[in-house]
Amino acid sequence: MKLKQLYVLLMRLAERFQMVQLVIIFLALFTGAAKEATVVFSEAAALCIQNQYLHHGLPSPNLHMSSEDYNLVSSRNFGSEDVSPRKLKHTQGNNLRGIPGNHHGAVVLSGAASQPQNGGPSNMSFYNTPSPMASQLSGVAPPPLCRNMQPNGSNLNTVNTDGSPRSIVNSTIQAPRRKFVDEGKLRKISGRLFSDSGPRRSTRLTGDTGANTNANTAAVAGNGTNNSSKYLGSSKLSSVAPRTVTVRKGQSWVNENIEEGIRNEAFDDSCANVASTTSSSFSSDNVRSLDHDGATVLVGGVVVSGAKAVSGASEVLCLLRTLGEGYRLSCLYRCQDALDAYLRLPHRHYNTSWVLSQVGKAHFELVDYLEADLAFSLARQVSPYSLEGMDIYSTVLYHLKEDMKLSYLTQELISTDRLAPQSWCAMGNCYSLQKDHETALKIFHRAVRLNSRFAYAHTLSGHEYVALEDFENGIKSYQNALRIDSRHYNAWYGLGMIFFRQERFEFSEHHFGMALQINPCSSVIMSYLGTTLHALKKSEDAIKIMDRAILADRKNPLPMYQKANILMSLEKFDDALEVLEELKEYAPRESSVYALMGKIYKRRNMHEKAMLHFGIALDLKPSATDVATIKAAIEKLHVPDELEDNLSTE
């Protein structure tokens, strides 16, 4: 009954307009619908299009453009155009709804070329012709019928101005909603239909995926965050608009479409104004309207609608943006900022293996090994078979001297994947921790053979060569690592250390400087740079860098120790003693601190204090060499320093 009324209305409208011929023919070509339906619907479609243009005062070029669009590849315009006619037919075409949704995904994915086709069939679907073609073509999902041409018109406008993604998104969003199966159901849920519910579950699902992909492609197409937010906003806009329209129209879908169109248009415009707001607000709007819509879904249990797809897409993009931000910052070695970025992730995304490994890596770069250990062990709990980042974890355990954990990790990694370089790096670290440098070297070579582009394996074999005092091969290995990855600051550091040992201090300063440039937050590199500068007699710079290192990481006792060393050689004994006193608090069981203090007291000729400190140093069980040194120092307490130094050569 209602359908008939609509038919009549449409016919009347069709009489007034003549531009529909092209459209009708096109639609007829695309859809294999029944003749009468074709005729009627084509007219109605033409009507819609013309109304659309009418309302927006679009000059014929628009229509021309739209017809061109049909022929051209630009799916966007097509989408919007399809929307309008479809909207008109919304009441009639349950099938129409079904069709667009399905084809949504197919069409969008297949690209613009298919769009025109989509437009056609979708329009046809309007006309209650459940032709498979039509459904397949609904890449540009026609918006809910309640949403008349007006929004389409505005969409078209915006499409013309903004870009295709939006219209694509619009159409895709709307497609799922149009998937009503049969007229009976349509009547039953007509009121709710317009509230954007009721699409058949399968169609909704397919349409949703299509919408998702559409939205994603739309967002992706827009380079840069501005674009994405804009597109998201626009997509949301479109999703919101139809919904609200549908709601409004729910009550009066019998009314003339033009009126609805007007309302839609108005709403759409207002929505367009809001489009500039952030996506989050949109998503919340969407969510709200989605909920409203979702509540009225009769068909199927999945509340999948275009708007929800859009909000989902925007959430995904938000998530990806945060992840990318964190990764970018950690590549820049701005580790604290990277950690903050990762913390902004929602909880269940934070607790994934990749994110946790990245967090662990960031802590590792900050020389915060305990936190890194925590993060990595969480990552292993979450995903015990992931190998990425596990080489860094093995290094963390090496630094913490946790040989049992390290060997356990190695066993697990080897049993997970025997051919991954990370597992062998872990094993090499294990042997290196046991001071078996030759075996460790062999294993790192194995890791290199497994993947010669794995820079860290080269760096680690360089470390082993240095431990074996084979500096030539060490330099070669570090240079290999740098050839693969010139931002691998460990290799720069390794080269700096070799040159430092060889007393080529200028080279060493350059390399430490490069390492520090890449990773400016590592206090260890800073302290080594300081000692190098001191060796180059640039002691003021050395002290400055030491202070920087001390500030950078208060838990690192080394810069203070080195600073005391420098001060002692500069003969600023009091300052040195001050620093060492502070250091005593940090590391009370470090014999070298007491040994150094004893040495300083000896230089100041405060023999009792020197004796005391040497005694404490000995009690703390230093290495055999140091025992010898300290005992010698004790015995020579009353001998002038020159003689002492001659005897106690390093």
Binding site for other proteins (CB under 8 A): 367, 369, 395, 398-401, 429, 435, 460, 463, 467, 469, 489-490, 493, 497, 500-501, 515, 522-525, 531, 535, 555-558, 561, 565, 586-587, 589-592, 595-596, 599, 617, 620-629, 631-632, 635, 647-650
CB of 570: closest distance to other proteins in angstroms? Answer: 15
CB of 222: closest distance to other proteins in angstroms? Answer: 42
CB of 328: closest distance to other proteins in angstroms? Answer: 23
CA 87 to chain CA centroid, Å, is 38
Sign of CA dihedral 280, 286, 291, 297: negative
Cα separation, 198 vs 184, in Å, equals 12
Residues whose CB falls within 8 Å of the CB of residue 322, separated by 6 or more in sequence, listed in order: 341, 342, 344, 345
CB of 629: closest distance to other proteins in angstroms? Answer: 6
Q: 148 or 480: whose CB is closer to other proteins?
A: 480
Nearest to 499 by CA among 481, 519, 487, 513: 513
Sign of CA dihedral 148, 152, 155, 161: negative
Q: 449 or 501: whose CB is closer to other proteins?
A: 501
Cα separation, 487 vs 541, in Å, equals 25
Three-state DSSP class for residue 218? helix
Q: 80 or 480: whose CB is closer to other proteins?
A: 480
Q: 350 or 586: whose CB is closer to other proteins?
A: 586
Three-state DSSP class for residue 256? coil
CB of 445: closest distance to other proteins in angstroms? Answer: 17
Counting other chains too, the contacts that 626-631 makes at CB distance below 8 Å and 24 or more residues apart are: 626/591, 626/592, 626/595, 629/595, 630/595, 630/598
CB of 599: closest distance to other proteins in angstroms? Answer: 7
**Cα within 13 Å of Cα(434), Cβ side:** 14
Give the DSSP H/E element, type plus range, for residue 219: helix 201-221
Q: 193 or 396: whose CB is closer to other proteins?
A: 396
Nearest to 306 by CA among 200, 220, 204, 165: 204
Q: 403 or 417: whose CB is closer to other proteins?
A: 403
CB of 286: closest distance to other proteins in angstroms? Answer: 49
CB of 628: closest distance to other proteins in angstroms? Answer: 5
Three-state DSSP class for residue 438? helix
Question: Quick count: other Cβ atoms within 10 Å of Cβ 643?
Answer: 10
Q: 46 or 595: whose CB is closer to other proteins?
A: 595
Cα separation, 146 vs 48, in Å, equals 12
**Residue with token string 């940090």:** 586
CB of 523: closest distance to other proteins in angstroms? Answer: 8
Cα separation, 202 vs 503, in Å, equals 74
Q: 276 or 517: whose CB is closer to other proteins?
A: 517
Q: 226 or 649: whose CB is closer to other proteins?
A: 649
How buried is residue 123: exposed, middle or buried, by Cβ count under 10 Å (0-12/13-18/19+)? buried
CB of 431: closest distance to other proteins in angstroms? Answer: 13
- The first and second tokens of residue 621, run together, are 């069980």
How far lies 62's CA from each of 186, 261, 433, 448, in Å?
33, 18, 74, 63
Residues whose CB falls within 8 Å of the CB of residue 183, separated by 6 or more in sequence, listed in order: 3, 92, 94, 128
Q: Are 312 and 265 in contact (CB under 8 A)?
A: no
Cα separation, 223 vs 272, in Å, equals 21
Q: 67 or 490: whose CB is closer to other proteins?
A: 490
Q: 126 or 444: whose CB is closer to other proteins?
A: 444
Sign of CA dihedral 225, 226, 230, 233: positive
CB of 110: closest distance to other proteins in angstroms? Answer: 51
Cα separation, 138 vs 125, in Å, equals 9
Cα separation, 141 vs 79, in Å, equals 7
Cα separation, 607 vs 599, in Å, equals 10
Q: 484 or 634: whose CB is closer to other proteins?
A: 634
Q: 571 or 650: whose CB is closer to other proteins?
A: 650
- The first and second tokens of residue 567, run together, are 């001060």
- The first and second tokens of residue 301, run together, are 């249990």
Q: 256 or 436: whose CB is closer to other proteins?
A: 436
Q: 449 or 621: whose CB is closer to other proteins?
A: 621
How far lies 103's CA from each of 37, 133, 141, 530, in Å?
20, 9, 8, 66
CB of 571: closest distance to other proteins in angstroms? Answer: 15
Q: What is the largest CA-CA distance in the chain?
A: 120
Q: Using DSSP, how many helices (H) and how many strands (E) does the chain show?
A: 37, 0
Q: 387 or 634: whose CB is closer to other proteins?
A: 634
CB of 241: closest distance to other proteins in angstroms? Answer: 57
CB of 419: closest distance to other proteins in angstroms? Answer: 23
Sign of CA dihedral 81, 153, 306, 4: negative
CB of 355: closest distance to other proteins in angstroms? Answer: 24
Cα separation, 562 vs 584, in Å, equals 14
CB of 617: closest distance to other proteins in angstroms? Answer: 8
